[in-house]
Amino acid sequence: MKIATVGRGNIGGGLGDLWEQAGHEVTRLGKDGGDVSGADAVLLAVPGGAVADALEKVQGLEGKTVIDATNLIGAEPPSGFASNAEFVKSKTNGPTAKSFNLNFARLYDQLGQAKSRPCNIWSGDEEARDTVEQLIRDAGYEPVYAGGLENAPAQEAAIKLFFGIVQGGPGPFFYRMAPPEEL
Ligand SMILES: NC(=O)c1ccc[n+]([C@@H]2O[C@H](COP(=O)([O-])OP(=O)(O)OC[C@H]3O[C@@H](n4cnc5c(N)ncnc54)[C@H](OP(=O)(O)O)[C@@H]3O)[C@@H](O)[C@H]2O)c1
């Protein structure tokens, strides 16, 4: 698959590496933007408050399957939208999914050592399922479907719970989300 990442930091760069190892062709874009018209799938991995600005600088998004990995930390979705993911869909009119926002990039290099595949929760359009679930598996996770794009606001809000769980110490749920070696 040809993948473009909008954002090439911990998430965009890290997933780009994992997907290349799985045989995909990855183009990484940074603050200067670029053209994604040749991509089969686009990953959005910029700061949560920079989504509108980032998409302004990207050409060729119309109709694309987009996976939005952003979290809203000290930021709100663009005005009139309950989530970044729904804003993304309004700009692309293509299959849209929320995923990879509840898994920490610092564990990417340990995924291969996990005794069982950690879960990766995604919500979004049915039309995005095949692409999203393949890319979740190819990154080393097991996909867990959490409903349509109307659930993206809840998935974005869930990062607060995950931070709370991590700060509270490992429990049975955390064991399913992180390689045991990390604990
Ligand atoms: N780190 C994690 O474990 C983690 C986990 C789940 C979700 N997330 C979410 O994923 C997103 C990315 O996190 P990250 O840790 O990968 O961040 P990061 O390492 O700081 O990388 C951010 C990327 O976004 C680009 N960028 C920044 N401002 C931009 C703008 N205005 N327009 C276009 N591109 C812009 C940067 O471009 P340049 O390369 O040109 O500087 C960089 O490539 C955030 O929303 C974060 O909350 C992070």
Q: What is the mean pLDDT of each run of 10 residues along the chain (183 residues)?
A: 98 98 98 98 98 98 98 96 98 98 94 90 98 98 98 97 80 54 46
Question: What pLDDT does residue 176 have?
Answer: 56
Question: What pLDDT does residue 114 have?
Answer: 84
What separation in Å is there between the alpha carbon of 60 and the centre of ligand 1? 20
Q: Which atom of ligand 1 is nearest to the CA of 48?
A: 45
* Burial zone of 136 (CB within 10 Å; 0-12 exposed, 13-18 middle, 19+ buried): buried
What separation in Å is there between the alpha carbon of 7 and the centre of ligand 1? 5
Question: From the CB of residue 106, how many other CB atoms can be counted at a distance below 10 Å?
Answer: 10
Give the residues surrounding ligand 1 with Cβ less than 6 Å away.
7-12, 30-31, 45-48, 50, 53-54, 69-71, 73, 101, 104-105
Q: Which atom of ligand 1 is nearest to the CA of 70?
A: 45
Nearest Cα to Cα of residue 4 among 57, 64, 53: 64
**Both structure tokens of 88:** 């993304």
What separation in Å is there between the alpha carbon of 3 and the centre of ligand 1? 17
Q: Determine the residue of 5, 17, 31 to mutate for testing ligand 1's pocket, defined as the one with the most ligand atoms within 8 A of the Cβ atom.
A: 31
Residue nearest to atom 37 of ligand 1 (CA): 30
Looking at the DSSP bridge assignments, the partners of residue 119 are: 142
